[in-house]
Amino acid sequence: MTARVRALGHDALLWTALAFAALVLSMAELKPLFAALFPWLDRPLYEQDSFLDLVIAHVALVGASSIAAVVLGVGAGIFVTRPAGAEFRGMAETVATMGQTFPPVAVLALAVPVIGFGAAPALIALTAYGVLPILQNTIAGLSVVPEPVREAARGIGMTDGEILYRVELPLAAPVILAGIRTSVIINVGTATIASTVGAKTLGSPIIVGLNGANIAYVLQGAVLVALLGVVLDLAFERLGKRLRRWQTAA
């Protein structure tokens, strides 16, 4: 019991998550603090939306775009590492690279006239931005699976599909997870620009603060985005360690 309590005391993920939750829920109570830090501001606390609502909306947008990016990235990575899709590998990597190098703001500007304001254009931009790391790591992870392992699986009667799902993907999982981790953390920060097209995110106080020269708003949004990124990064690190232990045990 003592060892477990000691472990909890050194759990970075737990304490960071608790600090993030406490800050989100108690932000309204910190108004006097921001008023003291920024006495020249008439409105030192962002109050157009609750910070809890902003966090939920931000996480939902990042989650939806990340799921779409995983489906596209992993799916394309699997396809181009099969004999039937090998010739499309270069094209797939080029398209994914273009998606990440094309500025998300430009994607929003192009999407808004077609599908309107809100979360939809942001979802397209974030998905395009998040595919590349996942695609690259999926290709890398599947490419390093030893050929003798595949041959052994064929020797016991596995089909190509069974080899993929029961051998290749489990072995490549840590590398693929690293790509997903990179993609998600990038999108946590990038999602803030979605507020420029009317989507509700943690970027809302940042955008409003920049437009109104209110540094307190910018600080409130930026700190929460940074803490959310740290929490998710630590969560992926924890998941990666458990995945490696599972592989070792298996």
pLDDT tens figures, 88-133: 888 888 877 777 677 777 777 777 777 878 888 889 888 888 888 8
172 vs 154: CA distance, rounded Å: 18
Q: What SS3 class is residue 199? A: coil
Q: Which two tokens stand for residue 207?
A: 């955008």
12 vs 36: CA distance, rounded Å: 31
Q: Return the closest-CA partner of residue 12 out of 184, 177, 236.
A: 236
Q: Which two tokens stand for residue 223?
A: 């700190």
Tell me, yes or no, whether 36 lies in a domain: yes
Instruction: Report the pLDDT value the prediction gives residue 250, as an integer from 0 to 100.
Output: 55
Instruction: Report the pLDDT value the prediction gives residue 206, as an integer from 0 to 100.
Output: 95
Q: What SS3 class is residue 102? A: coil
For the CA atoms of 246, 59, 24, 185, the dihedral, rounded to the nearest 10 degrees, stands at: 60
Tell me, yes or no, whether 116 lies in a domain: yes
Tell me, yes or no, whether 5 lies in a domain: no
Name the domain count of the chain. Answer: 1
Tell me, yes or no, whether 68 lies in a domain: yes
Tell me, yes or no, whether 157 lies in a domain: yes
Is 90 in contact with 81 (CB distance < 8 Å)?
A: no
Q: What SS3 class is residue 140? A: helix
Tell me, yes or no, whether 223 lies in a domain: yes
Is 141 in contact with 195 (CB distance < 8 Å)?
A: no
Instruction: Report the pLDDT value the prediction gives residue 101, as an integer from 0 to 100.
Output: 74
Instruction: Report the pLDDT value the prediction gives residue 221, as an integer from 0 to 100.
Output: 95
239 vs 227: CA distance, rounded Å: 18
8 vs 50: CA distance, rounded Å: 30
Instruction: Report the pLDDT value the prediction gives residue 184, as an integer from 0 to 100.
Output: 95
Q: What is the CATH number of the domain that holds 161?
A: 1.10.3720.10
pTM beyond 0.75: the answer is yes
pLDDT in tens, the chain (250 residues): 465 655 556 688 898 999 999 999 999 999 999 999 999 999 999 999 999 999 999 999 999 999 999 999 999 999 988 888 778 888 888 877 777 677 777 777 777 777 878 888 889 888 888 888 899 899 989 988 888 888 888 888 888 888 888 888 888 999 999 999 999 999 999 899 888 888 899 999 999 999 989 999 999 999 999 999 999 999 999 998 888 777 666 5
Tell me, yes or no, whether 17 lies in a domain: no
Q: What SS3 class is residue 116? A: coil
Instruction: Report the pLDDT value the prediction gives residue 22, as an integer from 0 to 100.
Output: 94
For residue 93, give its domain range. Answer: 23-42+50-249
Instruction: Report the pLDDT value the prediction gives residue 159, as an integer from 0 to 100.
Output: 86
Instruction: Report the pLDDT value the prediction gives residue 61, as an integer from 0 to 100.
Output: 95
Instruction: Report the pLDDT value the prediction gives residue 134, as an integer from 0 to 100.
Output: 93
Tell me, yes or no, whether 31 lies in a domain: yes
